[in-house]
Structure 1
Amino acid sequence: MNAKPTSIDTSQPADDGRKPRSDGEQSRERLLLAAMRLFAAQGFSKTSTREIAQAANANVAAISYYFGDKAGLYQACFSFMCQPEPDNIAQFAQPHFTLRQTLEGYYRQMLAPLTAGGDAQLMLRLFYREMLEPTGLWQQEIDNNIKPEHLALVDALCRHLGVEQPTDDVHRLAYALVGMAVQMMVGRDIIASITPHLLDGPEAIETWAKYLVGFAEALVLAEKSKLQQG
């Protein structure tokens, strides 16, 4: 879930040198924004096209025109919100990186969505809903993004551990490293209730990321020491 969320801006600033969007483009964006909010709050099955159209101040027929049907609109929401950064893996899987550089790059790209504010929350809630009521899009995210990045992390860990081939222990280590960051996303409500300042803005998230790097480095070095001891 480390895609980069994008923002929908339905305003039209004057005199900015850009061509004003057509009424059709604005209508499509309003439908996307309304659908993302409703799908995130209620899930796919409990959200009706009429509800989405009403929230977007648009005609129900516009959904068919722009997206085909509700399923097409749902797919468009994920495509819009979750545009993977092409260099995600490159940020941490460079063969010349030290262990710390590898971990810094990994957590940097993974935690990037958290700095997007409300857009990040909307994206995460969509993912939660999709996991609770799967339509197949979550599996696509796993196959297209999560799995390749996991395997790239495992390969990098093998290099730092001096292991020629990935083992179950290396996979477990990778899952543990990822889990520390996932907890920040899945457990946001808990963190906000107990220690809200720990996620209060980009600087707080950056500080947490530095701690994650330190924790992760200790775990990797502990695993390396265990391997060296036989």
Structure 2
Amino acid sequence: MTKASDSSETAGKLLAAGMKLFGERGFKATTTRMIADQANSNIGSIAYYFGNKRNLYRAILTHISERMQDKFRLYDIERRDHTFRSPEQARGSLKEIVRLLVRTFASEGEVGQWLLLVMREQADPSDCYDLLYEGVFDRVYTILGVRIAYLMEKSVDDVDVVIECHTLIGQIVFFLVGRHPLLRRLKRESGFDERLLESVEQTVFSHLEHYRPPT
């Protein structure tokens, strides 16, 4: 192993350790000693690679933001033409994005590792919250909002559209947050299989049919 790869591996271990501990305990209750021990590294490595605990925290949120952008394919979706010719086309585009989000959040893997820390930032934003909000959350709201606004014949900034976006995202995210009680209720020890994922998708899709112009 080269010095460069060894250096990268150490920094990666510190990021992973910090992500876990900050999520479980919060920023104030997590010490640099705890992070170094979790990463099997010496305490000076945090200062060497990141400068201090706050910079490590920012690096972790930056990493999560970038990975969420990749997972949700935000750049690809944002580059598409958002001029819809019919409600069916807009609803089809919305379903495609919802399917991507459902399948991302139903997978416990990498996204599950971010969960506690992201939830903490949502509940009690730190001065680093903008890294997540501007990098991911606001962009997802806009992507969904453009489509919902078209279907409801309202502005993307209309309060009803914003609330519909918030509700839709909450429904999808809860399949990760609430996966354990759901799988236990269904007696599924192996997690989400293809049939269950399709059932989840169809349930969420049924809610999209309510996005219509005011009568």
Is this a same-fold pair by TM over 0.5? yes
Partner of 1:87: 76
Report the Cα offset of residue 136 of structure 1: 2.5
Aligned match of 2:161: 170
Q: Residues 206 and 42 of structure 1: is their aligned pair in 2 closer, same or farther, counting only changes over 3 Å?
A: farther
Percent identity over the alignment is 24
More moved, 33-42 vs 94-103: 94-103
CA contact (8 A) 1:40 1:125 kept: yes
**CA separation in 2, counterparts of 1:198 and 1:170?**
37
The match for 2:43 is: 60
Partners of 1:80 and 1:164 in 2: how far apart?
A: 33
Q: State yes or no: 1:44 paired with 2:27.
A: yes
Deviation at 1:154, TM superposition (A): 2.4
Q: Counterpart in 1 of 2:142? A: 151
Change (3 A) 1:121 1:92: farther
Q: Which residue of 1 aligns with 2:200?
A: 208
Q: Kindly report the root-mean-square deviation, in angstroms, between the aligned alpha carbons of the 2 structures.
A: 3.1
- Contact 1:99–1:160 (8 Å) recurs in 2: yes
| Residue deviations 1:139-160 (CA, integer Å, cap 9, x gap) | 4322332223323322222322
Residues 130 and 138, structure 1, Cα contact 8 Å, conserved in 2: yes
Query: What's the counterpart of residue 179 of structure 2?
Result: 188
Q: What secondary structure is seen at the aligned counterpart in 2 of 1:74? A: helix
Could you give the per-residue CA deviations for residues 22-79 of structure 1, whole angstroms, max 9, x where no partner exists? 2211211111122212112211111111111112111111111111111111112222
8 Å Cα contact 2:94-2:144 kept in structure 1: no
Give unpaired runs (5+ residues) of structure 2.
Answer: none
Cα displacement string for residues 78-100 of structure 1 (whole angstroms, at most 9, x for unaligned residues): 22233213224457956357143
2:115, 2:80 → 1: CA distance?
Answer: 22
